[in-house]
Amino acid sequence: MIDLSDIVSDPEFARPFTINRSTGQFALGGYQAAVQQIQAVGVIRPAGAQDIEIVPEGDRTLGMMTFWSATEMNTTSATGTSDVLTYQGIDYRVLQVMPSGDFGYWKAIAARKSGD
């Protein structure tokens, strides 16, 4: 298979952003949450019409962006909550991830968090 990670990491196209990943564990006194910050680079573009169709209608009113990166991004699952991507000081919550790890990249559709 073709590895496209060089393209999504190319400095001519890629821009830096931060992946804020919620982590935590159960300990004495209950759940102790923490946020892990992961520095990443990738191609970041406004979401197109085909991207927006994938997302539930309620989230379509928010500003939406697509992030392509060689760094894995996550949505809400049994193991944690959606990553929050910070780009140019604005936080975007990951709504959908298209895992293309076999090709060396992940594509995430993210919506601007309300209030930002």
Q: Where are the beta strands (DSSP E) in 1-116?
A: 15-27, 30-46, 64-69, 84-87, 90-100, 105-112
CATH 2.40.10 fits 5-92+101-112, yes or no: yes
Q: Which two tokens stand for residue 45?
A: 């573009």
pLDDT of residue 60: 56
Listed by start position, the domains of the chain span 5-92+101-112
pLDDT, tens digit, 9 for 90 and up, residues 20-65: 998 877 788 887 778 899 999 999 999 888 777 776 665 556 688 9
Q: What pTM was computed for the model?
A: 0.82
CB 42 within 8 A of CB 70: yes
CA 104/CA 42 separation, integer angstroms: 12
41-53 as b/e, with b when 16 or more CB fall inside 10 Å? Answer: bbbbeebeeebbe
Q: DSSP character for 1? A: -
pLDDT of residue 91: 95
